[in-house]
Amino acid sequence: IVQAISQNSRCQPKVAQDLRKSFIDSLEEDIRDFLINEAELHTYDDLTKVNPVTPSTVLKCLQARYSAKVFYTHAGCTLVALNPFQPIPDLYSLDVMREYHSAPQPQEFKPHIFIVAEEAYRNVQGQVEPMNQSLVYSGESGAGKTWTSRCLMKYYATVAASSQKCQDTVEKIERRVLGSNPIMEAFGNACTLRNSNSSRFGKYIQLQLNGSQLLVGASVQTFLLEKTRVAFQAPNERNFHIFYQMMKGATGKQRLEWMLPLDQDFAWLPHAEKTLEGKYCTSRMCLLKHEKRNLRRHLACVDYCSLSLFMLCAGFLQKTADLLQVPLDELQSCLTVRTLRAGKQNVLKLCSQSECSVRRDCLAKVIYAQLFDWLVTFINNSMCADRSMWCNFIGLLDVYGFECFLLNNLEQLCINYANEKLQQHFVAHYLKAQQEEYVTEGLQWSFIRYQDNQGCLDLIEGSPSSIFSLLNEECRLNRASDAKQFCVRLQKELSHNASISWDKFSKQPHFTVAHYADKVSYQIEGMMEKNKDPVPPELISLLQNSQDSLLHSLFADGDHESEGLRGHSKVVTVISKFRNSLESLMKILHSTTPHYTRCIKPNPDCRPLTFKREEVITQLEACGIVETINISAAGFPIRIPYGNFLQRYGLITNTRLTVQMNQSNSPEMSNQAVLGSAVEDVLNVVLKRRASNSTLSPDDNNNMVHCGRTKVFLTHSLLEMLEVHRNRVRSQKAFCIQCCWRRYQNRQRNLKRQAATRLQAGVRSWLVRREIRKWHKAASVIQTKWRRWRVWMDALAEAELDDAEDFIENEASSALPKLDRLLKERGSVQLSSIQEPVMVRGWPIGLAMASPPSITVSLTATGFQRIMSMMACLKIPFRNGEYKVKTNQFDQGVASIRAQPRGSIKVHLQRSPLLYADMHPVHKTDVVTGFNQILLERP
């Protein structure tokens, strides 16, 4: 608006000035109204709620939150993190991690780095395209990127290891991932002017997840190690942490082994009295004992390279040769004599003092660089999973921040170039691409101006002429480097680019680049030599012939840094290698879903809880936070193609297109109008549930959703509503599935019960039939025995009642079964010898016959005694289970009890005196037997 007013001021100066003045006054009044209530500024957890969005209002809101010890704030699609420069209790605890991980909607919680981490993790779980995720945290040196990397690694090692499956493997990977971080910082971080733990290399950590989103491995990709720091440190800066940790933590035995005197000072280890960042802990790596010892010995050798300026002291050279396990004379020759190629012959030439120092520095740098690469390779081999074991990854990019020192050279140029590429990726992904996509999809959109750094990138890496191309061309020429000549060439080739400038009054050749963050002046002196990074072939050959196994393996291939053996046209410069690694990194970022976090350094002195407005406002303007907030507040941060939208949310309306998602030849899938209509049906269901009279028409420009030509644009609030509705529908369908499954299980259970019942009934019937057959057989045996016994009893009764002669005569013609010997003996008695009837003696049951004197016997015994008394009276002898029946009539010559008595008979009891005749087994009511029969037969 201000620009339009300024353009109209040429035609109508007075009117335009009045309009501009009134607009500025109203804007300032809005800002004053917003800033007047400072007590509520710290409650703005999202800067898109700030109205109006200006650098002043954003800065004031961040300052209020920082004063309230709130260090994270949403800025639309990004997260702003302010470094507190002191530990904050319980801000990154395990309980906080679990709270954000288990929350249904983490966005409803306070802004935190864990929200970004959880969003990326849930994208992998939900298979949201692109499924691989990248977390990019950018900012100046000291803004807190390394600490953010630690927190993210700990978070993913915690939430991605929550399953009990393969717990030992997960814990092993977790220990290695977390254990590798301090080791990498020890070897790659150093104390600089702006940060006490500044990363001097870039790293991209891939956390590898399997199909169940469990952590199964990790890998580290590094680029641009600042190995020149080994041999040179700027004033008030230090070398890599590992050297100081070795000097402080070495034991007496280790110092003796490494030949490090306790009171020895090293020129390459300045400011050794400062507090160490951490402890040297190679024990957390899976290094073998001899590998640890060799690694420390080589680091000690690098330290010894700094003992003498020219490495001419025989004592120090001897110790260095012993540590490297190379001959002393060969080491001295490589450092003081160089080989020149003259045709087919080699010419030896003594080196000057400066050349000797260059060779000494080169030896130290190449050993340290190879040790660092070996360390990274070893870490990757120890924790990287096989490609078949993981399917997705979450990448953490920890890259050095933007740098601007008093003296800047090739290292700062490469570092700032990397930050330019990341800024350009952010601009292309969030700002430029988002606005262009709105127009392509048919949204009514007014473009928001933002700072595009493409001109700066063209200056550094463009074609055909750029700073990098001219530097590489200068390095490939076989001539001495001239800084002034190169500066003149830069002015000639790149003067048309507005991003580069020169100070004509400066005595040192230099050039100034206007980066997205700030203007940086680079010294040209020494830039070409650093870009060449030459390694004399004599040094490579010397290290290849070392007796040390690790050092020999590092240089065994002969390709490490040995460009001097090749033709000049094939020299691979530092810039070329850095560009290649950075391009591979950018390809990975473009193929993943990025999540940006802007780390802000609140003060240049790294003092705790100190907020410098000038420092913060510069960083806000440099990284485009204000433009990001404007675009995020005015636009739709969520953009989903129709097909992907229906795949995830089509189940809300049970559309048939959801079933056809996997059918590539389906005609409906290529018809965007059909897909758009299905998407609108889904959105109408969700919006009607929110408000009964809310609907979505194809031409409706809803403030929460817009259906474009091929995509649907959503806000975070509507996306949350869709997720809630989707979860509700899934719960209902899951409930239906559970009901059907339980019904099926009940039916199967009933069928199994019925089958078991039939089997049991069959078995039981078979058992019963078998038992009944046994019963029938036993009953048959009993019946047979009973019938036989009954016949026998009948025969005995007849023998007892009838005349013996009749019994003997009828025995042969009787139909009864044949009697045994006992019966015959019992029946064979003599009856003719007794003429007169006599009194029967010893009647046990009180029966007396006609013979005086009459005898009356009363039977008083009962039970067993009665039976024994009767058997005694009947005189039945016992012979081993056999018995012989003898009755009174046989002893006294009574022929038959049926005989007619001559006298009177007195019967005192109504019981038969007979033994067998009264015991007939057949129960017949109409048959009279025994003594009653005798009475009836009496005339």
- Give the residue with greater pLDDT, 251 vs 616: 616
Mean pLDDT of 86-93: 89
The contacts of residue 216 (CB under 8 Å, 6+ apart) are 169, 170, 173, 208, 209, 210, 385, 389, 390
Instruction: Region of 14 please: left (phi>0), alpha (psi -120 to 50) or beta.
Output: alpha
Binding region: 139-146
Poorest-confidence range of 305-319, 577-591, 888-902? 888-902
- Higher pLDDT: 432 or 423? It is 423
Q: What are the beta bridge partners of residue 848?
A: 906
Can you give the pTM of this predicted structure?
A: 0.65
- What pLDDT does 872 receive? 54
Above 80 in pLDDT, residue 806? no
Residue 28: band (very low, low, confident or very high) from pLDDT cuts 50, 70, 90: low
Give the angle 400-121-76 at the CA atoms, nearest 5°: 65
Q: Determine contact, residues 497/469, Cβ cutoff 8 Å.
A: no
Residue 505 has pLDDT above 60, yes or no: yes
pLDDT computed for residue 688 by the predictor = 78
Say what the pLDDT of residue 876 is. 47
Rounded CA gap, 620 and 642, in Å? 36
DSSP string, 562-601: -GGGS-GGG---HHHHHHHHHHHHHHHHHTSEEEEEEEE-
Which range, 34-48, 442-456, 498-512, 637-651, is most confident? 498-512
Query: What is the band of 523 on the pLDDT scale with cuts at 50, 70, 90?
Result: very high
d(CA 326, CA 334): 11
Residue 740 has pLDDT above 90, yes or no: yes
Q: Where is average pLDDT lowest: 70-74, 508-512, 604-608, 780-784? A: 604-608
What are the boundaries of each domain within the chain? 638-714, 841-939
Q: Provide φ and ψ at 905, rounded to 5°.
A: -120, 125
Q: What is the pLDDT of residues 706-721, one digit of tens each?
A: 888 888 888 777 888 8
Angle at 165 between CA 160 and CA 170, to 5 degrees: 45
Question: Which range has the worst mean pLDDT, 113-117, 233-237, 365-369, 897-901?
Answer: 897-901
Percent of the chain surpassing pLDDT 90: 16
Three-state SS string over 680-722 comes to HHHHHHHHHHHCCCCCCCCCCCCCCEEECCCEEEECHHHHHHH
Provide the mean pLDDT of the chain.
75
Q: Which of 506-510, 668-672, 902-906 has the lowest mean pLDDT?
A: 902-906
Q: What is the mean pLDDT of residues 209-219?
A: 86
Q: Is 82 exposed, middle or buried (0-12, 13-18, 19+ CB in 10 A)?
A: buried
Report, as an integer, the average pLDDT of 887-900: 44
Q: Is the pLDDT of residue 165 over 70?
A: no
d(CA 813, CA 815): 6
Q: 10-14, 185-189, 778-782, 916-920 — which one is most confidently predicted on average?
A: 778-782
Q: Residue 521 pLDDT more than 90?
A: yes
pLDDT at residue 882 in the model: 44
For residues 486 and 470, the answer to whether their CB atoms sit within 8 Å is yes
Q: What is the pLDDT of residue 500?
A: 93
What percent of the chain is modeled with pLDDT above 70? Answer: 69
- Over residues 335-364, mean pLDDT: 83
For 117, half-sphere exposure in the C-beta direction (CA atoms, 13 angstrom radius) is 27
pLDDT at 53 over 50: yes
Q: Which of 624-638, 782-796, 859-873 is predicted with the least confidence, judged by mean pLDDT? A: 859-873
Q: How far from each other are the two terminal CA atoms of the chain, in whole angstroms?
A: 159
DSSP E strand stretches across 210-306 = 215-223
Sign of CA dihedral 383, 386, 390, 396: positive
Binding residues for ATP: 139-146
User: What is residue 116's predicted lDDT score, i.e. its pLDDT?
Assistant: 93
Contacts with 34 (C-beta within 8 Å, 6 or more apart), sequence order:
50, 51, 52, 57
Residue 630: pLDDT above 90?
Answer: no
DSSP 8-state class, residue 893 = T
pLDDT of residue 665 exceeding 70, the answer is no
Lowest average pLDDT, out of 147-161, 687-701, 866-880, goes to 866-880
pLDDT at 177: 73
pLDDT (tens digit per residue) in 825-849:
444 333 334 344 444 444 444 343 4
When comparing pLDDT for 571 and 469, which is higher? 469
Indicate the helix (H) or strand (E) that contains 264. Answer: none
To which H or E segment does residue 450 belong? none
Say if residue 236's pLDDT is above 90.
no
Which has more pLDDT, 452 or 839? 452
The arithmetic mean of pLDDT across residues 294-308, rounded, is: 55
